[in-house]
Structure 1
Amino acid sequence: MSDSTTSTVQDQTNFNLDKINQRLEHSHPREVLAWCLQNIPTGFVQTSAFNIDDMVITDILYRDLKSTTPVPVIFLDTLYHFPETLNLVDQAKAVYNLDLRVYKVPEVDTREAFAQKFGEALWDTDIEKFHHITKIEPLQRGLDELNTVAWITGRRRDQAPTRATMPIVERDAKGRLKVNPLANWTRKESWAYAFEHDVIYNPLHDQGYPSIGDEPITTKVQDGEDERAGRWRGSGKTECGIHI
């Protein structure tokens, strides 16, 4: 995205974020998303890893609010997702009639092809490169191609210390709005919503995986551990790079 495009994005979202965050700080995620749909009529997308928080947001957007123009849902196919995750993507697409946009590494369609091009177990030899290739670059390409003005994340403040002071609405490095409608919710509240509204979810959540990423670098979480402790275990990482 060029500097001129960045300026255009900021012109379209020339909001006082302090006032908006003050207004939305104690709002239900539905109210946050309704505000977005009302004030950002075009260029509004959801980014989703199809974890439970992402599914709650999708349910609100597609079942509850029922926007006349479906919000595109970006999914990053890293080629290393669990089969259960890919099955849920297909199921959600059918249940909600999602406007699903899948982005991945160009010209690589299998794990074998990925390993041949970038080396075996790249996540072990260079995890930063692995995340740039499979997540950061495809996401930025997707946001650019969709002329994104604002994008939704499924982050919550209680997920990790690095997210403890996260605002409801912020700007990313390119000036786009970044909306965190679940910021003031807890894991318990997300699951309460899911059970109340029969939201479909990844069965791995019931098998010790509260946060689900790529299969080779996601492990089960033990009692007493942080819910994201199973992500990149032993690497010292707390984020893949998308939200830094």
Structure 2
Amino acid sequence: MTISTVSRNQIANLDLDQLNQKYENAHPSEILAWSVENIATGLVQTSAFNVDDMLITDILYRELKHRVPVIFLDTLFHFRETLELVEKAKQIYDLDLKVYKILDVDSREAFAAKYGDELWEKDIAKFHQLTKIEPLQRGLAELNTVAWITGRRRDQAVTRANMPIFEIDGNGRVKINPLANWTRKQTWGYVAEHGVIYNPLHDQGYPSIGDEPITTPVAEGEDERAGRWRGFGKTECGIHI
């Protein structure tokens, strides 16, 4: 019986400790292969099209040849380079791309007119709720998601240092972190070996790329996510809390 055929209560009672122990030192492709084999329907990838996300997409689509739906949150404030990469990835992988965004506006200008100029400066939590948290939860619900795949690694930030590979999110879904036990060096090694496309901003001092107005380059020696929400006292946007 696959996970997709059992109830949400049964999902919550999965032996995650056993799964995490078994796959603690596994290659991401092994973790993703388990996911594809055991979650027949309701498996999605969430992607901001950062390099770790692209690695996962490459394994799913090229190696495993499995067209997992890919959720992309169009916040309206992405870098041009990010949006160009999304289009390029669509062509290369024939992505089953699912784009979700705020419902009542469709441009930065309309967003400013409705919610005020530079809302992130006035209320960063509301900005993220509108542009990321609500669209993601809507997308997961509409796709009848049982389990979702993220590109998080433990070495990205201290807040992720103890992150398991398999966990249950606040809504009773399985959250899969296939890169949890990998390092930034390993990610880039895979990208180089397999010729995976990536955002050119990664080569310009942006190891982690979010919304253009609140993402800055990172100096040598800084945490790779130090450029996200610099000066806001945040380490996460709220999606993974």
Counterpart for residue 101 of structure 2? 104
> What percent of counterpart residues are identical?
71
1:35 and 2:26 are equivalent in the alignment: no
Counterpart for residue 232 of structure 2? 235
Q: Does structure 2 retain, via aligned residues, the 8 Å contact 1:46–1:71?
A: yes
SS at match of 1:46: strand
SS at match of 1:212: coil
Q: Does structure 1 retain, via aligned residues, the 8 Å contact 2:146–2:174?
A: yes
Counterpart for residue 78 of structure 2? 81
SS at match of 2:148: strand
> In 2 relative to 1, CA 36–14 (structure 1 residues): closer, same or farther, beyond 3 Å?
farther
Distance in 2 (CA, whole Å) between partners of 1:132 and 1:242 is: 9
Letter in 2 for 1:180: N
SS at match of 2:7: helix
Q: TM-score, normalised by structure 2?
A: 0.96
Structural mapping, 1:132-147, within 5 Å: 132-147=129-144
Q: Deviations over 1:176-229 (max 9, x none)?
A: 000000000000000000010000000000000000000000000001100000
SS at match of 1:62: helix
Q: Does structure 2 retain, via aligned residues, the 8 Å contact 1:221–1:230?
A: yes
Per the TM alignment, residue 12 of structure 1 is displaced from its structure 2 partner at its CA by 5.2
Counterpart for residue 4 of structure 1? none
Counterpart for residue 166 of structure 1? 163
Counterpart for residue 46 of structure 2? 47
Per the TM alignment, residue 11 of structure 1 is displaced from its structure 2 partner at its CA by 2.9
Distance in 1 (CA, whole Å) between partners of 2:44 and 2:53 is: 12
Counterpart for residue 56 of structure 1? 55
Per the TM alignment, residue 15 of structure 1 is displaced from its structure 2 partner at its CA by 2.1
Per the TM alignment, residue 9 of structure 1 is displaced from its structure 2 partner at its CA by 2.7
SS at match of 1:170: strand
Q: CA RMSD in A?
A: 1.0
Q: Does structure 1 retain, via aligned residues, the 8 Å contact 2:12–2:172?
A: no
Distance in 2 (CA, whole Å) between partners of 1:219 and 1:118 is: 23
Q: Does structure 1 retain, via aligned residues, the 8 Å contact 2:208–2:224?
A: yes
Q: Deviations over 1:20-69 (max 9, x none)?
A: 000010000000000001111100000000000000000000000002xx
Q: Which runs of 5+ in 2 are unaligned?
A: 1-5
Distance in 1 (CA, whole Å) between partners of 2:151 and 2:221 is: 22
Per the TM alignment, residue 14 of structure 1 is displaced from its structure 2 partner at its CA by 4.8
Distance in 1 (CA, whole Å) between partners of 2:99 and 2:9 is: 26
Q: Deviations over 1:149-183 (max 9, x none)?
A: 00000000000000000000000001100000000
Letter in 2 for 1:59: D
SS at match of 2:175: strand
Match of 2:193 among 188, 191, 196: 196
SS at match of 1:74: strand
Distance in 2 (CA, whole Å) between partners of 1:8 and 1:107 is: 34
Q: TM-score, normalised by structure 1?
A: 0.95
Q: Does structure 2 retain, via aligned residues, the 8 Å contact 1:13–1:149?
A: no
Letter in 2 for 1:76: L
Q: Deviations over 1:92-127 (max 9, x none)?
A: 000000000000000211000000111100000000
Distance in 1 (CA, whole Å) between partners of 2:19 and 2:9 is: 15
Letter in 2 for 1:87: E
1:153 and 2:150 are equivalent in the alignment: yes
Counterpart for residue 3 of structure 1? none
Per the TM alignment, residue 13 of structure 1 is displaced from its structure 2 partner at its CA by 6.7
Distance in 2 (CA, whole Å) between partners of 1:86 and 1:144 is: 24
Q: Which runs of 5+ in 1 are unaligned?
A: 1-6
